A and B are shown apart, each in its own frame.
Chain A
Amino acid sequence: MSFISHLINGISLGSVYAIIALGYTMVYGIAKMLNFAHGDVIMIGAYVVFTSMTGMGLNPILSILLSMVVCTVLGVVIERIAYKPLRNAASPLAVLITAIGISYLLQNVALLLFGAGAKTFTNVVTFPSISLAGGKLTITGVTIVTILACIVIMVGLSLFVGKTKPGRAMQAVSEDRGAAQLMGVNVNGTIALTFAIGSALAAIAGVLLCSAYPSLTPYTGAMPGIKAFVAAVFGGIGSIPGAMIGGILLGIIELLSKAYISSQVADAIVFAVLIVVLLIKPTGLFGKNIQEKV
């Protein structure tokens, strides 16, 4: 019974990683860059919801919508100011370092605006918990909503990328930016759209992350961001279903190793598993193995 309970907790932690990983993988898949500031956009999104709910008394749905708008604008602005000028830089490292810089910038701005003190986030999910096996197992409402949100977003994104015109433009940009431009695809617009969608997802992830773990500080997004990045690589970065499966597996591995091996080396075990997976399957679980034509 305790195994099942650990498993459920693992899925609940993993679903949070998964929803963050979706944003990572989306941006990487299309813009081919690691947006290390993603975790911090999540944190900003959570602060927007916190401030509008507890400070201004808005209702949760409106707060989440407001937060999505703020994050979308933030994501597009970051892309335009910090990433676009470096898109054709000689070294791909330039934009990676800029992303890390943006990450610190957002953390420090939040520190300035909201202070270092932790704030308790009000759970916005009113979905009831489910009790199983006579109350011995509980699945919290947040977990159910997070998993449902994950599936909806995953299916929605897959359909969007596969079936719609802007989605197909994304695929084209992802495969060959130069050729896409020659075929009349607006590359800048497409990448901006990718960031807009990724950042709107960050706002949702922020709300769900802070509903599951209701403590909000300027550093709230940093560590889950890195774990979600690992989850995205684990599942095969660029693959939308991969991000979800990777996130949930990561959560399960982390909690089971805490429960049955040691709570001190759980993180080391998670990363050891990642290394083994990457050694066997270098593109991750669901990664496409595209051969470069010479």
Chain B
Amino acid sequence: MKKSKKLMCLALSAAFAVSALAGCGNSGKGSSSEPTYKIGAIGPVTGSAGAYGEAVKKGAQLAADEINANGGINGAKIEFKFEDDENDAEKAVNAYNTLKDWGMQMLMGTVTSAPCIAVESEAANDNMFLLTPSGTAVDCISGSNAFRVCFSDPAQGTKSAEYISENNIATKVACIYDSSDPYSSGIYQNFAAAAPDKGMEVVAAEAFTADSKTDFKVQLQKVKDSGAELVFLPIYYTEAALLLQQAKDINFSPIFFGCDGLDGLLDVENFDASLAEGVMLLTPFAADAEDEKTQQFVKAYSEKYNEAAPIQFAADAYDAIYTIKAAAEEAGTKADMSNSDLCDALVAAMPKITVEGVTGTITWAEDGEPDKEPKAVKIESGAYVAL
């Protein structure tokens, strides 16, 4: 008992000493130590979306450590700090203010859409560079200071159409979507608009609403009668789990193709994974892809955090940090610039860079939207397999 108390004391005093030293490092900027790039990040590491923030935090930290080990950005090291927002817009704004007090120069975040929209309006006022790894709502990057790594909601529709046609998966397609949900109907509209140009025929488009999202038999029957080879499902996994069951009940087995909303299908408790056999979904990242970059990332990630494999959020964050590096090098920034000067320089550089990331080769438009090759995964024997 006494011994453990003593140990505790030692540990605590050591911790104090370390934090005091770390404090010195921060305040002593410009005098004894070299200036650093302070990159802040915000996302949920607790609460219902905790897994997303946790992955982003780990992915970004990994990228920052790698960059620091290889000489940093323009010769200066990165300091990375992550704040929890519990997927709550108000807490995200508080976290943003905390990071500003810390001296943040660039923001990598936030992770989820609603908090990101709130933080973006603050960041736009401060002219703070914002790069969200995974905020898909259109308004997440409404200001000129903001960019994103993932596809936006509408882009998922267009990119799905592109992917299906380029890989010759099907020509006669049908859609079943939730007309009462902006995410679902937004993707559907963009998909339906893009499909004819890609040589696809939308033979049926059936909707359901939040008030009647348990029975899809009629929609499935109509889709079946229309002769569709592929059914596009821009919906969430909860409804998809029911829909797949009902499709099986009427012996209807087309190719089902979904977007990021279907990610999580295999995690539904007690779900019969055989129903999802062959379901495809558009996602920027698959941990078992065979290219060297992905393999390296997956290996480094699982060694550092002792986990099986990173999810797409970790990959998005990893690319986000490398994107900041690429833009900063393109603009030739210095670590002691103010956040506003940095923002102007980075915004000007973003459309000029190309990032070879683990989520694809990415370029940016001036409005902040990324352009990259769409990738898809397929569910086989209860696991995601890269295509």
Which residues of the partner chain B approach A116 to less than 8 Å between Cβ atoms?
48
Q: Which A80-129 residues have a C-beta within 8 angstroms of B?
A: 116-122
The interface size bin for chain B is 20 to 34
**B269–A9 CB distance below 8 A:** no
B67 at the interface (CB under 8 A from A): no
Q: Which of B212-220, B312-320, B375-383 lies at the interface with chain A? A: B212-220
CB distance from B180 to the nearest CB of A (A): 9
B139 within 8 A of A: no
Q: Can you add 6 more A-B contacts, CB < 8 Å, to A9-B217, A258-B218?
A: A2-B225, A117-B269, A120-B268, A214-B242, A215-B238, A255-B218
CB of A11 to closest CB in B, whole Å = 12
What are 12 A-B contacts with C-beta separation under 8 Å? A118-B237, A118-B269, A135-B251, A138-B249, A214-B245, A215-B241, A224-B214, A258-B219, A263-B207, A263-B208, A267-B211, A267-B212
Q: For B215, B238, B267, which residue has the most chain A Cβ atoms within 10 angstroms?
A: B215
- B 145-169 to A, binary, CB cutoff 8 A, 1 in contact else 0: 0000000000000000000000000
With CB as the reference atom, state the residue of chain A lying closest to B205: A263
Q: Are B215 and A118 in contact (CB under 8 A)?
A: no
On B, residues with C-beta under 8 Å from A are 48, 179, 206-209, 211-212, 214-215, 217-219, 221-222, 225, 237-239, 241-242, 245, 249-251, 267-272
- The listed residue with most A CB atoms (<10 A of its CB), out of B48, B212, B249, B268, is B212
Whether A117 pairs with B268 at a CB distance below 8 angstroms is yes
Given contacts A54-B270, A259-B221, A263-B207, contact A120 B215 (CB under 8 A): no
C-alpha spacing A140/B267, complex, angstroms:
27
A119 and B270: CB pair below 8 A? yes
Report A202-222 CB contacts with B as 1/0, cut-off 8 Å.
000000000001110100000
In the complex, what's the smallest C-beta–C-beta distance from A130 to chain B, in angstroms? 13
Q: Is the CB of B268 within 8 A of A119?
A: yes
Least CB distance, A260 to chain B, in whole angstroms: 9
B268 touches A2 (CB 8 A): no
What's the minimum C-beta distance from A230 to chain B, rounded to whole angstroms?
A: 11
How many residues of chain A have a CB within 8 Å of chain B?
A: 31
Closest residue on chain B to residue A114 by CB atoms: B269
- 8 Å CB contacts to B: which residues of A46-64? 50, 54
> Would you call B212 and A266 a contact (CB within 8 A)?
yes
A122 to B270, Cβ gap below 8 A?
yes
Q: Does the CB pair A120–B214 fall under 8 Å?
A: no
Tell me if B241 and A263 are in contact (CB < 8 A).
no
Docked-complex contact B269 and A223, CB < 8 angstroms: no
A13 contacts chain B at the CB level, 8 A cutoff: yes
Cα of A121 to Cα of B272 in the assembled complex, Å: 10
Which 3 A-B residue pairs are closest in the complex by CB-CB distance? Answer: A213-B214, A120-B270, A118-B238
CA distance A36 to B218 in the complex (A): 29
Is A40 at the interface (CB under 8 A from chain B)? no
A210 → B minimal CB distance (Å)? 10
Measured CB to CB, the closest approach of chain A to B208, in angstroms, equals 6
Within 220-260 of A, Cβ neighbours of B (below 8 Å) are at 223-224, 254-255, 258-259
* B242 to A, closest residue via Cβ: A215
Complex contacts, A181 vs chain B, CB 8 Å: none
Say yes or no: B215 contacts A13, CB within 8 Å. yes
- Distance in Å: Cβ of A2 to nearest Cβ of chain B: 6
B221's partner among A5, A13, A120 (CB-CB below 8 A) is A5
How many whole Å from A250's CB to the nearest CB in chain B?
A: 12
